[in-house]
Copies of this chain bind each other. A is one copy, B any other.
Amino acid sequence: MSSTLISPAQALELVGEGLRTLPFPHAPEGLYDPARYILQLGGKRIRPSLTLLAANIFDADPARFLQPALAMEVFHNFTLVHDDIMDEAPLRRGADTVHIKWDLPTAILSGDLLLIEAYKLLGQAPAHTLPAVLQMFNRTAVEVCEGQQLDMDFEKQTDVTLAEYIEMVRLKTSVLLGCSLATGALCAGASEADTDALYIFGEQLGIAFQIMDDVLDAFPEGDTFGKKAGGDIERGKKTFLYAKAMESMKAEDRDKLLSHYGKPGAGHVDFVLDFFISNGIKNAATQAMEAHFQRSLQALGTVNGPTQVLHQLAQAVYERTF
């Protein structure tokens, strides 16, 4: 079967073409123009690619499942439009966010439309798989909302445990990766065990990726295109590093950290960076990241089928070359 495996680049090509030809009507413009706009801003489109590659393990023609794959990307873009309102973000992928380019009502309503369009695409999964596909997607969609709520809740509290942080990350970003893979598996008729394993592969890869994101924000590697180190620290964001420090340090050291965390100015950021290194927080984060990545590959290893493309993709994601 491995001769029929498509590459990540081929999956991406299918996804790009699918997104370009989504049959959105012209009018009302105020509803459909913002939806087209956000979908054409780009992004890595890893979620629909994962759906196609997961389906391809069990089916030689994953393009048959392009619509449910696109549902993952359209849903992801729904969350971006609404999250950007909630986070008051002016930019997305280097361009104006929808509520800035248009206005608040437009961003709310076109976000709602994207969520519904995701369900329309999902509804084109093979009819006999629809109850399971829909159930998986519904659970995931609720979890993503819960993750966003927890993220907003954390902004207002200083005491975030590591377990709470991991759970927030899992809900806000990782479950959709798991769902994207599981949807491909379900559409292509995979067994329950293989479907579950692919879900865990995505979920754990997502958690690893998010911890890496936190570490790289504080400690960038290589060419960072002028991005300032420690943006999260300056903004007082509750990251893995923060939660780990709050959980493992003594009260005295915690207070010291808090007196510098979330304060503007290089002096405060430098203090926090030194603190994270000298107290082993950075190391602990790197180890946790590696552990989740290994758990991810372990789950993938149990899948009955040719998983080499997903294995390579996971490596590329982990090495930030995808």
Contacts and interface: CB of A to CB of B under 8 A. Distances in A.
Interface of A: 28, 30-31, 82, 85-86, 104-105, 108-109, 111-113, 115-117, 119-120, 123, 127, 130-131, 134-135, 138, 141-142, 145-146, 148-150, 152-153
B105 A86 contact: yes
A123 B129 CA distance: 12
Contact of A86 (B82, B108, B138, B149): B108
B130 A145 contact: no
Given A112-B115, A116-B145, A145-B113, A30 B152 contact: yes
A123 B112 contact: no
B146 A82 contact: no
A201 B214 CA distance: 56
A131 B115 CA distance: 18
A127 B131 contact: yes
A121 to B, nearest CB: 9
Contacts of A138: 116, 119-120, 123
A82 B152 CA distance: 19
A28 B112 contact: no
A112 B123 CA distance: 19
A99 B104 CA distance: 13
A150 B43 CA distance: 31
A123 B104 CA distance: 31
Contacts of A28: 146, 149-150, 153
A148 B109 contact: yes
Contact of A85 (B108, B113, B123, B153): B108
Contacts of A31: 145-146, 149
Contacts of A85: 104-105, 108
B30 A105 contact: no
Contacts of A111: 112
Greatest chain B CB density within 10 A among A86, A117, A130, A142 is at A142
